[in-house]
Chain A
């Protein structure tokens, strides 16, 4: 690739042929990228496209295997995050690196010169956060803050270094729509000061809304560079995914049957200081219904899943009823035997053991409900590997699980394929209740649409489905009813057509059933999405 001298000189940062190899696998290969001063540049791509690897190289966390980084016209190597900060590159990671037990100011101090007094840091942080519209109390403990506020700490921490380029990795994935709007205002202010922003996302709408230019990655290569405002979400998606993604099809006329899952006034104390207590949660899910539980991460979703699955049974047996039977004190296998099935959020080390084969991971969830088919020898419980291998094969075919070899380790599958397997493992039982936490978290678009379709089809065949999700697009795609969880409290369910995106956003932010906020005109999600 040849670029004119002037173009390189005008760029704040340009990258030529940047490559990163992990063994034989090229996470990034021959990446070219130019960021001009004062622009918001989007880096688009699906999970696993190489976005994070690329920015880690730009921030000095990883060393490139080949290629060149040019900063303000000077070719250089960035050996460490410290060097990157010195150059004027700031980074806000997707997973925050904050100590929950420390205050905001203490957390900021950790990344600064140790001689700076804490009071001065607190003062600077407070004034910066005010100037950029990021309200933050420097003496608050991180553990007490919402995810959005924690992100502000990371942003303020980056701004304190007076950077020329700020890299944000998937910043809105943890925010409510309102919090995201606020973040965008901050970004525009940074831009007006002549700073550049590298904005990593897979959300097409917001990229079209705020970014000046976009670079699209797929499988570690640049597949397009464009002005996102000139593109449609569909054309951006094509660049990202490579093919058209099958639209999820839903039959609107599913008749609802009997109540399958009945939770009444469930209260569970937090198990650890950083966990969330569940407060008076009630819900009833009927056959044929998909109840989606929306909410921002860390508002009690995993605690609710633990209580519903029976991994952590609750004290009062009658609080949870599965198909009419009280199961509060019953463990997970007892509930599975009654026809319930569960897909937890974390694939590695919860839904599956990464170091074990797929057949072993099949047995993991089904040793008791399918005891007759998979075990023999009475009390000795000898594993019937032949039957398990057949069932594994069946599931992989049904869910189109792509894998290398007959029976690979679960950890060797990509996130999307492992998730298809984990969901398929439960669908294969034809459960009458299915409870899924974040069904398509970190999954590529093709796998996500397949999983969503499978959930819709399951409900149609007469099962009750609970989908706990942070992804509002997903919720509008699959749900019949929507409830919102916030600080361990669950709202009343609302039929999907009666809720606007804005209203859900307010509920996610903790404003519950407040009648002072008039419901916007009942509108379809498409209408609220397209700007």
Chain B
């Protein structure tokens, strides 16, 4: 017996919808096996991982806090990936956005103006966009591979942040901890509701997702993104420039990653420290694909991936396993999403040895 993949005559709409759900189910089954192998009760472990965080108001706020950067970054990345530009360095653009956005509160802690917050956000966007501009420049000028350049720039950004908070930006009154002064109250992104910690970053994420969805669905620019992503030659025939699209997609995704960075630092941390992200920039890649590179789908997948972060923390507390399990779940999920997508274009056939011999006569 062998398994054969047969190309479908047309894309299966059923499986376009079903494939992410199927991937979720398979991830849960994989997780259950994992917990069982660790000697835990799979049922209660999965419950504390995926259900418990959804039952309380404060944890729903945490969910929004974690989902905000994931969604913001992933919708930007979806534009990149749709246009065939592979920005892998959102983590670095997030970090640089956090740094440039924090310049004002760190250097002018005495400036108490309502102008400071909008300026910080704009500077965060600009920082992220400019940092993404480096791989764009290298790609358009020297034809370098943006996957490599954007990824390598992540480590530069992280080490730069590390140096800043241990060196020039360190709080002199901070007992030698590597972190800046806490931001003045005007520089803190406020909470959306009185009931919890969720800040306006989540609103930015929803607005960005809806705006980019509108662009992709109804505007010529969205059409341009899709054409150039599928065929550069046809794009040139339409009069679109692939080179300009590199800039557009990298600047948009870098800018949104930068906005996510400053929102995270200003809204949920309140100062700058060496570690400001549990890998949002990389997890957002999974979010983008799980959401089928559709900005509205990304809102849903962003919430799912945020849940794996929360679940990891919860599982560490309640059943005593490492929160690294959340990374395992993210990996499982990406693996199953990509493999289930095969079903959209192919149908699986089991070929038995007997029937083949018959066919060959």
Contacts and interface: CB of A to CB of B under 8 A. Distances in A.
Given A311-B236, A353-B231, A367-B239, 16 more contacts: A24-B9, A63-B360, A66-B359, A68-B361, A332-B238, A351-B234, A351-B237, A352-B234, A353-B234, A356-B227, A360-B223, A363-B223, A367-B223, A368-B239, A380-B219, A383-B219
Interface centre among B10, B238, B359 (most CB of A within 10 A): B238
A349 B231 contact: yes
Nearest to B215: A380
A500 interface: no
B233 A382 contact: no
A344 B142 CA distance: 29
Contacts of B234: 349-353, 364
Contacts of B10: 409, 412
Interface in A326-351: 331-333, 336, 342, 344, 346, 349-351
A4 B9 CA distance: 40
Nearest to A375: B220
Contacts of B233: 346, 349-350
B175 interface: no
A127 interface: no
Interface string A56-91: 000000011111100000010100000000000000
A23 interface: yes
Nearest to B11: A409
B6 interface: yes
Nearest to A361: B234
Interface of A: 22-25, 63-68, 75, 77, 309, 311, 331-333, 336, 342, 344, 346, 349-353, 355-356, 360, 363-365, 367-368, 375, 380-383, 409, 412
Contacts, number: 79
Contacts of B227: 353, 356, 360, 364
24 contacts: A24-B9, A64-B359, A64-B360, A67-B361, A75-B361, A342-B237, A353-B227, A353-B231, A353-B234, A356-B226, A356-B227, A356-B230, A360-B227, A363-B223, A364-B227, A364-B234, A365-B237, A367-B220, A368-B239, A381-B219, A382-B220, A383-B220, A383-B223, A409-B10
Interface of B: 6-10, 218-221, 223, 226-227, 230-231, 233-234, 236-239, 359-361
Nearest to B231: A349
Contacts of A383: 218-220, 223
Contacts of A375: 220
A302 to B, nearest CB: 11
A381 B221 CA distance: 8
A355 B230 contact: yes
A381 B231 CA distance: 21
A350 B218 contact: no
Nearest to A364: B238
A15 B231 CA distance: 41
Contacts of A380: 219
Given A66-B361, A311-B236, A382-B218, A23 B6 contact: yes
Contacts of A346: 233
A354 to B, nearest CB: 8
A386 B252 CA distance: 30
A65 B9 contact: no
A311 B235 CA distance: 10
A110 to B, nearest CB: 29
A308 B359 CA distance: 53
Q: Which 4 A-B pairs have the closest CB atoms?
A: A381-B220, A333-B239, A349-B231, A364-B238
A331 B230 contact: no
